[in-house]
Structure 1
Amino acid sequence: MKKIFAILTAIAMMSLATACQSQVPKAESASEGPSTTSQSSASQGEAIAATAGSFTLKNVAGADVTVDVSGITAFEPITMEVLQKSTSGESKITVTGADFNKLLEKYSLAQDKLQSLRFEAADGYSMEIPSEVLAQRQILLVYGVDGKPLTEKEAPVWVVIPEERAMYWVKNIKYIHLNETAAPAKVAAGNIAFMETAFQKLAATDYEDEKTISGKELLAAAGFDDATAKLAITAADGLEKSETFAILSSAQITTAGEHAPKITGDKIPEGMRVQNLLSIRADENALVSFNSCLTAAGTTTVGEKIGVSVSKLFELLSMNDAEAYTFTAADGYEKEIAKADIAKGIILLNDKGELETYFGGLPKNTCVRNLAFVTAK
C-alpha cells in the first residue's frame, strides 16, 4: 500500500507541474492581446473626471437646465493635443472631454443652428462665441488635462475650442447661455466718435498706476445709450469679440500708457481685458481710438502733414457711403466735406495734443481742430 500511495503521489505532482508550465503568466498574455480587464473608453473618461460639480445650461426652450459632470463623462470621450495661444505665448496640452454638440442633442439642439453662445465662469469671466465660430469649430467640454482631473479652479468643466485663441477658452464654467434668436446684421457706421477727444472732458482716476476713465461715462459721451445693445469690440491686432453693455459699463478704460486704450478694472477678469482697443460698435455708432488706428492702418502723408487716412478709417469701420460727411469739433464747430474729397484727407495729432483734420488742396477753413465726431450725411 505504501508503494502504491507513493506512485500515485508522484503522478499527481507531475500532472500539477505540467499544468503550471502550460499556463502563461498574466503579464505576458496581456502583452500579446487585448486585456479582458481593460476599461471601456467611457470609463477611461470617468476615471480622470471630477466626480462632482455641475453648471447651468440657460435658455433651453425658455428654461434653465442643471447639467452634472457625470452626464458629460457618459458621452464618448475625446482626447487630443491642442495649442493654447495667449498674449503670453503658446503651449501644447492634451485635453480629454466631450463634444458640446452631444450635450445639445439631448435637448434637440445643434451648435451650428445657434446664433450665439456665451460661456460664463464662476468668477464672472465671460466670452461670447460668434456664429461663424459655432459653424466651423468643434467645442469641447473638457474634464481632464494631461491625464489628470481639473483643479478646483478649473472644474467642473473647461470649455476648449481647438484652433481658436485661448481667450475663447473658459474655465470653471457656471453658466452656458444659449441664443437662438436671429443675430443682428452687420451695420455700416454712420457716426464716428473719437476716444481721445472724449477723454478730455471725462474725469480720470488712477487704477493700477494708470490713468483711466469710466467705461459707462465714455459710452455716454459717444452717444451709446441703449443698455440692451450688444457691443462689437475690435483691437488693433485684429482681435474681434462682442460684449454686453453692462459689462463694458462696469469697466475702466486706460487713457495713456502701454497698450492704451485698454479695457481693464476690478470687475473685468484678466482674460477679458482688451489691449490697444481700436473700436467699440453698436448699430451705426462707432467709438474709435486714433492711436490704435495708427497701428492698424499705418500713416499717410498729405503735403507736409502725417496722419491716418480718412479713407482708411472709413474702410476700417465700414462707414456708410454718403454724398457728404460732417466733421464736428468738441466745441460744436463743423465742416462738411464732399464724398469726392474724402480721399484727400487725413486726421492727425497736433502740437496741442488734439485731433484735427487736413484735406490737401481744400481751403484752410476745412480744418477741424479737436475733432470729436464724423457723421455721414
Structure 2
Amino acid sequence: MSKVSDTMKNRKFYIFMIAMAIVVVGTLFFLNNTAAEEALKVRAFYPEAKKIERVKDIADDVFISINLPAVRRAYAVDGVIKAYVVSCVGYVGPIEVLAAIDDEKGELIGIEILGHTESPDYAEHIGKNWFLDRFKNIIAEKYLNLVVLDKENPEDIVQVTGATVSSQAVVNAVNAAIGAYQYKVKGIKMDRVPDVVSQEMWQKDTNSFAINWEGGAIRINTEEIKQYEQMEMDVVLIHTTGTETPMKVKGPTLRHILEREGIDLSQYEGVGITGRDGYYTMIDREKLEVNDVILAWEADGKGLKEEEKPVRVALPKEMGPYWVKMVSNIDLYDAISSKDIDKIHMFHALTADIDPYFYEYYGSKDKSIEVGKILKKFDAVDEKGFFTMGASDGLIKNETISMVRQRYFIKIEGENAPMNIAPSFKLGMNVKGMTHFSTTKDAVIFPEKMRAVVRTKKINGKEGLLLEDVLLTAGMRWTGGNGFNAVSTDGSQLQINGEELPECYITSEDGKVDLCNGHIPLIKDLLRIEKL
C-alpha cells in the first residue's frame, strides 16, 4: 500500500513539475515574443541600423530613477542609446510610449503609443497619426510644452481636443525620453519630469459637485447623493454624430435635490452645468419644464467610470450636448436676458473682412472664424444673455457669452460645417450643420443650411428661402406694425412692409445672398435684415 501511495505522490510531483515548466516556458515565450515585437517597432524607426540591442537596467540608474521615473526601457542603436520606452499615468492609467531620437540631427524622429488604459471617449485619438506627427522632427534639446490651440514655439505640442490630461501624459513621457537621451548620450542633467500628470491640471474631485444659487450653495458627495429620492430610467443618449447609446441610469433629479433644500426649480430661468473638463451647457426654462435633469451616479447597474464621476447628466428628451459628464458645478439662473432680435446678418457678408483661422480639430485643419471677432461687429452684446446656436437637425444649444468670447470658433469648411469648435469640445458634442446663432439682439444665418428647416421655392433657377420663415427660425419676432429694412454690402437699403414679407425670398450662391420679391430682384449681396 505504501508503494502505491509513494507512486501516486511521485506522479503528482511530476505532474506539478511539468505544469510549472509549461508555465515558465509559456511566460518566457510571451516575454520574448513581446520583447521581439518591441524591438521590431524600434527598428521601424531605424531601418538602416546594423545592430539594435536592449540596454539592461537603465531604469535602475540613480539619476534616471529619481528624476526621470517614466523611463522603463531603452535601446542602443549602433552603439548609441537612441530609443526609449517611457510611461506616464494619464487620466485612468499608464500610457506607454516609444520615443525615437536621431543622434546625428539631435531631434525626435517620432513616437508610437505602445499601449494605454485611457477611456476611448477621451483618448482614442492620441494614437492617431495626425497627433503622433506633431512629435516629428523636434529638436531634442528642450522639453516639450503642451499648448491648447496655437503652436508658437518649436517645442510646442498642440493637445488633442477634449483630452488634455492624456495629451499631457504623452508629453511627459516624451520629455522623460529627451531627458534620458541628454543624460546618457550628452552627459547633460535636465530637470525632473514627473511620471504622472499633476492633479491641478485635471482637478480630480471625483467625489462631489456643487449646486450654486444667489445667496447660497450646497456640495453633495457620492455617498450623500444616494440618500435622495432615486429615479431609474431607460434612456438613449443620441450623439450629434448620429450614434445612439442606450443605457439605464439611476440617480436623483435636480428638482428633488432642490426641493429638499426648500428651493423650487420652476422659479429659475435656467441652469448652467459645467464638467471638470471645462465643458458647459445651459438648460433653459422651456427644457426644464418638460425634462427631468437626472444626476446619475449609476449606469447599467454599475457605478460610473472614473472619468464620468461624480455624476453625469441624463436629459431624456435632449441630444448629447446636454448630457454633461463629470459634473463639477450646477448654477441656477434667476434671470436670463431675453432675446429681442432686431438684426439678422448673412454670415459670409458679415465676416468677409475677418481673417480666417485654420483650426486643427481631430486631425482636420479647416478654415474657421473666431466668434469673439464676430461679436465685436455687433452694436452691443448683453453679457447676461446667451449665445444660442441652432442646427439643421433641430438641436438648439446655449453657451455663456464669456465662454464664446475667446478661443471659440465656427468651422466653415470641411465635414459637418458650419460647426462650433473649441479646445474643450470633444467630437460629438458639437452643433453640426449650424443654421444660425444669436446673442440677445443679433442673429447670424447660414442660408445653405437654413434651407433644410424653412419653406423653399424655385426663384429664377435657384432655391429660394421664404424670408418670413428665415427670420422666425433665427429668433426674430414682430407685430403687424413692424416693417423691415434690407441692407446690402454696398450700403444700399430697401424697406419692406409686413404685407410684402410673405412674398419675399432669399437665394444664395458662393456665399452671396440676394433678396427677391417673388421673381423680382430687390437687393444683391444682402448684408442684413433690420426690424424697424
Structure 1 and Structure 2 fold alike (TM over 0.5)? yes
Matched AA of 2:272: R
Cα distance, 1:100 vs structure 2: 2.5
Residue 217 of structure 2 corresponds to which residue in structure 1?
A: 64
Residue 190 of structure 2 corresponds to which residue in structure 1?
A: none
Cα distance, 1:353 vs structure 2: 4.2
Among 217, 226, 229, the alignment partner of 2:382 is 226
Aligned CA distance change for structure 1 residues 72 and 360 (closer, same or farther; 3 Å): closer
Moved more, 172-181 or 296-305: 296-305
Matched AA of 1:192: I
The one-character-per-residue Cα deviations of 1:129-181 (angstroms, maximum 9, x if unpaired) are 11122223222221112222111110011121233323221110110101233
Cα distance, 1:66 vs structure 2: 2.1
* Superposition pairs of residues 212-361 of structure 1, within 5 angstroms: 212-250=368-406, 251-270=408-427, 272-317=429-474, 318-321=476-479, 322-350=481-509, 353-360=511-518
Residue 104 of structure 1 corresponds to which residue in structure 2?
A: 258
Aligned CA distance change for structure 1 residues 353 and 278 (closer, same or farther; 3 Å): closer
Matched AA of 2:346: F
- In the superposition, the TM-score normalised over structure 2's length comes to 0.56
Distance 1:64 1:150 in 2: 24
Aligned CA distance change for structure 1 residues 205 and 98 (closer, same or farther; 3 Å): same
Residue 157 of structure 1 corresponds to which residue in structure 2?
A: 311
Residue 249 of structure 2 corresponds to which residue in structure 1?
A: 95
Moved more, 298-307 or 260-269: 298-307
Q: How many residues align?
A: 320
Cα distance, 1:222 vs structure 2: 4.3
- Bigger relative contact order (CA 8 A; separation at least 6): 1
Distance 1:287 1:224 in 2: 14
Aligned CA distance change for structure 1 residues 85 and 360 (closer, same or farther; 3 Å): closer
Contact 2:448 2:508 in 1 (8 A): no
The one-character-per-residue Cα deviations of 1:223-264 (angstroms, maximum 9, x if unpaired) are 453333222322122212222112222311112233222111
Contact 2:239 2:429 in 1 (8 A): no
Matched AA of 1:202: I
The percent identity for this pair of structures is 22
Matched AA of 1:110: D
- In the superposition, the TM-score normalised over structure 1's length comes to 0.77
Residue 84 of structure 1 corresponds to which residue in structure 2?
A: 237
Contact 2:211 2:219 in 1 (8 A): yes
| SS of equivalent residue, structure 2 residue 452 | helix
CA RMSD of aligned residues (A): 2.5
Contact 1:199 1:255 in 2 (8 A): no
Contact 1:126 1:272 in 2 (8 A): no
Moved more, 159-168 or 145-154: 159-168
Cα distance, 1:185 vs structure 2: 4.6
Contact 2:466 2:506 in 1 (8 A): yes
User: Which ranges in structure 1 are unaligned for 5 or more consecutive residues?
Assistant: 1-50
Aligned CA distance change for structure 1 residues 83 and 361 (closer, same or farther; 3 Å): closer
Distance 2:369 2:313 in 1: 32
Residue 355 of structure 2 corresponds to which residue in structure 1?
A: 203
Aligned CA distance change for structure 1 residues 92 and 306 (closer, same or farther; 3 Å): closer
Distance 2:280 2:447 in 1: 28
Cα distance, 1:210 vs structure 2: 1.0
Q: Do residues 73 (structure 1) and 226 (structure 2) align?
A: yes
Cα distance, 1:326 vs structure 2: 1.5
Aligned CA distance change for structure 1 residues 157 and 360 (closer, same or farther; 3 Å): closer
Residue 19 of structure 2 corresponds to which residue in structure 1?
A: none
Contact 1:193 1:287 in 2 (8 A): yes
Q: Do residues 168 (structure 1) and 322 (structure 2) align?
A: yes
Cα distance, 1:204 vs structure 2: 0.6
Distance 1:247 1:232 in 2: 12
The one-character-per-residue Cα deviations of 1:160-213 (angstroms, maximum 9, x if unpaired) are 1233323221110110101233x44553x3211111212321101111221001
| SS of equivalent residue, structure 1 residue 104 | helix
Q: Do residues 121 (structure 1) and 285 (structure 2) align?
A: no
User: Which ranges in structure 2 are unaligned for 5 or more consecutive residues?
Assistant: 1-204
Distance 2:338 2:500 in 1: 29
Distance 2:314 2:461 in 1: 51
| SS of equivalent residue, structure 2 residue 415 | coil
| SS of equivalent residue, structure 1 residue 156 | coil
Distance 1:290 1:361 in 2: 18
Residue 299 of structure 2 corresponds to which residue in structure 1?
A: 145
Contact 1:222 1:287 in 2 (8 A): no
Aligned CA distance change for structure 1 residues 139 and 222 (closer, same or farther; 3 Å): same
Q: Give the number of the structure whose alpha-carbon radius of gyration is greater.
A: 1
Matched AA of 1:311: E
The one-character-per-residue Cα deviations of 1:335-377 (angstroms, maximum 9, x if unpaired) are 2233333333221224x64212222475x6x3x2221111122
Distance 1:136 1:325 in 2: 35
| SS of equivalent residue, structure 1 residue 120 | strand
Distance 2:349 2:527 in 1: 6
Contact 1:115 1:180 in 2 (8 A): yes
Distance 2:385 2:253 in 1: 31
Contact 1:155 1:172 in 2 (8 A): yes
Aligned CA distance change for structure 1 residues 65 and 76 (closer, same or farther; 3 Å): closer
Distance 2:230 2:414 in 1: 46
